[in-house]
């Protein structure tokens, strides 16, 4: 098998209006996530794949994130294999938060990355 270089970007390169795909689990999402992100936990990814294909139907790039980058790298690789324009966000939500990007909880209040 030949695996191409996994496409990835720094959090500072993620546009404000980007489609951020958060693949962390429900408890992680509830504590804090990127505002406006699409939440599809990795554990439910195959069953909910239609939500992702619908979100990128207009050709949008998916910026995939987890806590530090491991799970999102796996999901990004899967999406790319399906012909979807997806990139892994280096460092995940930990770097997102450290870079001063907005993190909110379930109620839209300031959140935290767990």
In tens, the pLDDT along 89-109 reads 999 999 999 999 999 999 999
Token pair, residue 69, equals 């980058």
Q: Do residues 91 and 14 touch, judged by C-beta distance below 8 A?
A: no
36: phi then psi, degrees, rounded to nearest 5:
85, 5
Q: What are 35-49's pLDDT values in tens digits?
A: 999 999 999 999 999
Per-residue pLDDT at 5: 78
pLDDT at 12 over 80: yes
The residue annotated as part of the active site, out of 18, 34, 66, 89, is: 66
Q: Is 80 a catalytic residue?
A: no
Token pair, residue 19, equals 């489609």
Which pLDDT band holds residue 4 (cuts at 50, 70, 90)?
Answer: low
| 51-65 mean pLDDT | 96
Residue 24's CB is within 10 A of a number of other CB atoms, namely 26
């Amino acid at each position: 098998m030949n695996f191409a270089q996994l496409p990835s970007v720094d959090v500072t390169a993620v546009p404000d209006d980007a489609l951020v795909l958060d693949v962390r689990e429900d408890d992680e999402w509830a504590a804090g996530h990127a505002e406006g992100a699409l939440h599809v936990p990795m554990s439910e990814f195959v069953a909910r794949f239609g939500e992702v294909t619908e979100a990128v139907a207009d050709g949008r790039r998916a910026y995939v994130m987890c806590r530090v980058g491991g799970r999102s790298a796996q999901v990004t690789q899967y999406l790319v294999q399906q012909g979807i324009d997806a990139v892994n966000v280096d460092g995940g939500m930990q770097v997102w938060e450290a870079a001063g990007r907005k993190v909110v909880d379930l109620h839209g209040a300031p959140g935290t990355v767990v």
